[in-house]
Structure 1
Amino acid sequence: MIIFGTSSSTINPSKLDGGHCPFCKTENQMWVQGYRKYFHVFWIPFFPLWKKLYVVCSHCKGAFEKQEITSKNLISNFEEFEKNKVKIPWYHFTGIIIFLLLITSISVIPFLN
Structure 2
Amino acid sequence: MNWIILIIAGLFEVAFTSSLGKAKTTTGMEMYLWYGSFLISLVASMLLLMKAVQTLPLGTAYAVWTGIGAVGTVLMGIFVFHESVNFWRLFFIATLIGSIVGLKSMSH
With structure 1 as the length reference, what TM-score do the two structures score? 0.29
The structure that is helix-richer by fraction is 2
State the structure with bigger RCO (CA 8 A, min sep 6), 1 or 2.
2
The structure that is strand-richer by fraction is 1
With structure 2 as the length reference, what TM-score do the two structures score? 0.30
